[in-house]
Homo-oligomer: A and B are copies of this chain.
Amino acid sequence: MREVRLSIVGFGVVGRGVTEVIRRKRAEIKEKFGLDLRVVAIVDLWGAVLASSDGKSGNEIDVDKVLDALQRGKADGLSPRESLETHGIKVEDMQSLEVIKEVEHDVMVEATPTNVESDGEPGTSHILEALKAGRHVVTSNKGPLALHFKKLMRAAERADRKIGFEATVGGAMPIISLREALAGNEILSIKGILNGTCNYILTRMSEENLPFEHALREAQEIGIAEADPKSDVLGVDTAVKLVILANALLGLDASYKDVSVTGITEITPEALNLAKNNGYVIKLIGEVDRDGKLEVAPKLVPKTHPLNVSGTLNAALLKTDLAGEIVVVGRGAGGIEAASAIIGDVIRIFRSS
C-alpha cells in the first residue's frame, strides 16, 4: 500500500468534490490500485486546515468532519472559516504558497478558479511552486495551461514530476488521457463542443424556437449558466479549452490569445431553423488543424454527425492517421465529474511512477 498525501488548493465546488470522491472511493482505490489517498492540507482564501490541526492526532484531515462543518455552517449563515472553527477545526493563517512549500505532501490539487485575464494567477504560481518543492500537480484550472503550457511542462520535466490536467477540458469526458489510448497514432486535428452552457442554449433555441436572451435566462434559472455568462457565451471558455487540447494532443505551443473567437450571442432562431430545414444544426465549435490555426465559432454540423450532441453534453472529434476519426462524448461540467477526472489523474501518476 502506497500512501499518497494530497493538498487541495482552492476549496470550492471542485476541491470539495475531490474530498467527496475520496470519501466515497477510498477503500475501492486502496484495493484496486494499492494507493491510500490522504488529504493533508486544504487551503483557500479563508486560511488553511492541516492534518495536524483538525483536532485529531492522525496524519490526515478528517474530510468528513470538514465537509460536515462547512455544510452546517453554511446553513447557519456562517463564513467557511467560522463554520470550521465553530465545529472545532483549527484554521491556520497560512497562505496557499506557504502551504504548498512547507507542508510535506506528494501531489498538489490545484482547484482555484480559472482566470485568464490575470495571467492565470494564482494557479500558475501554485503549480510552479509545487513542482519546485518536488510535488506532482493535478489541476482543474484552465488558466495556467491555456497561457503557459510549454513553460509548465518544462518545469515539470526539470522537476521530474507530472502535471495531470484531464479535468481542465470536458469535465469527466476522457480526452487528455486519449493520448495514451491512441498511442502510436498521430492526432491530426481536433474539433469539439467544449462548453455545455452554449450547447444547452443552442439546443433549447433550436428545439423551442427561442431567442438567445430567452434561452440564456432559462439556462441561468436552472443553474446551467452563470449570473455573468460572458466567458461562456462569448466563446472564451471554449477557446481556453481548445488551446489546452491543441497543446496537449497536437504538440502546439499556443496561447489562448492565438485563438480567433466568435461566440453565440448573434445566433437567431431563424438561422437555427434554416439549418434544421437543410439537415444541419448549429453548434459552437472549437477547431484546430495541423497548421495550428485555432478557431472558435458557430458552425453547421450535419444532424447525423456524431458531434451533434444535445443539451449540456460535450463532444470532441479527433482525426488520427491510423485510427481514423474518434469521437468522445460526456458530461462537460460538475464538481463530482471534475473530481472524477482529478482522481483519475492522481491514480495514473502514482501507478506509473
Task: Mark A residues whose CB is within 8 Å of B.
Answer: 21, 25, 28-29, 33, 166, 171-174, 177-178, 180-186, 304, 306, 308-310, 313, 315, 320, 322-331, 334, 336-337, 339-341, 343-344, 346-348, 351-352
Measured CB to CB, the nearest residue on chain B to A28 is B186
| Inter-subunit contact A331/B324 (CB<8 Å) | yes
Asked if residues B323 and A341 are in contact (CB atoms below 8 Å), the reply is yes
CB-defined contacts of A186 to chain B, threshold 8 Å: 28
A327 and B324 in contact, given A29-B184, A183-B33, A183-B348 (Cβ under 8 angstroms): no
- What are some 19 contacts across the A-B interface (CB < 8 A)? A29-B184, A171-B323, A172-B320, A172-B323, A172-B326, A174-B182, A174-B323, A174-B326, A178-B181, A181-B181, A181-B344, A304-B310, A306-B306, A306-B313, A322-B336, A324-B337, A326-B329, A327-B330, A329-B329
Known contacts A306-B315, A327-B328, A344-B184; decide if A21 and B322 are in contact (CB<8 Å).
Answer: yes
B352 contacts A337, CB within 8 Å?
Answer: no
- Evaluate contact between A21 and B184: CB separation under 8 angstroms: yes
CA distance A326 to B93 in the complex (A): 42
Q: Which residues of B contact A166 (CB under 8 A)?
A: 181
> How many copies make up the complex?
2
CA gap between A352 and B33 in the complex, in Å: 15
Q: How far is the CB of A67 from chain B (nearest CB, A)?
A: 17
Additional pairs, 13, CB under 8 Å, beyond known A172-B323, A185-B344, A323-B340: A174-B182, A177-B181, A183-B344, A183-B347, A183-B351, A184-B340, A306-B313, A322-B336, A322-B337, A322-B339, A323-B337, A325-B330, A327-B330
**Bound-complex Cα distance A348 to B180 (A):** 8
Smallest CB gap from A179: residue in B: B181
Assembled-state Cα–Cα distance A87/B140 (Å):
58
On whether the beta carbons of B328 and A326 are closer than 8 Å, the reply is yes
Given contacts A174-B182, A182-B344, A343-B184, contact A325 B331 (CB under 8 A): yes
Please give, as numbers and ranges, the residues of chain B lying within 8 Å of A329 by CB-CB distance.
306, 326-329
Knowing A174-B181, A174-B182, A177-B181, the reply to whether A322 touches B306 (Cβ < 8 A) is no
Residues on B with C-beta less than 8 A from A178 are 174, 181
